[in-house]
Amino acid sequence: MDVIEWDVDNPQVKKLIEAAQVLHWGTMSIGLALGLRSGIKAMGALGLQRKQADRVKVRGSYCFAQGVEVITGCSMLRDKMEFEHRAKDETELHLWGQGKHLRVKPYGRDFQDGEQVMELEEEEIFERIEMLDP
């Protein structure tokens, strides 16, 4: 398995983002973009490669969950994703891997569009990124 540097400008990550966009009817919604960025942040913070996460808990939109699934490789079909549909101000990702638990919470504010989310700096997207007890 190739080692992935979790950065939106990395060609390997760009391929995953493009694949997500194709599966999302050729569009980049705000929810999908937040899911992609949250997954990228979480995987990088825990030093995991795709499909190395033990499990994820996703609270947010279906599009947010789709973005997380593409990046982490965790899906409901493989029983590695727990999903709760929530309002945008309650959106968050919990990721477990290598004996660690990370919470990523995007801001619940209105973003212009998905492309904006993909271009913003992390501090403009995430309200909180924190390690929790496993």
Classify 128 as helix, strand or coil: strand
| Residue ranges per structural domain of the chain | 11-132
pLDDT of residue 85: 97
Q: Residue 84 pLDDT > 80, yes or no?
A: yes
- Report d(CA 20, CA 115) in Å as an integer: 13
Q: What is the pLDDT of residues 23-80, one digit of tens each?
A: 888 999 999 999 999 999 999 999 999 989 999 999 999 999 999 999 999 999 999 9
**Burial class of residue 54 (count of CB atoms within 10 Å of its CB; 0-12, 13-18, 19+):** middle
User: Model-level pTM?
Assistant: 0.94
Fold designation for 11-132: 60s Ribosomal Protein L30; Chain: A; (3.30.1330)
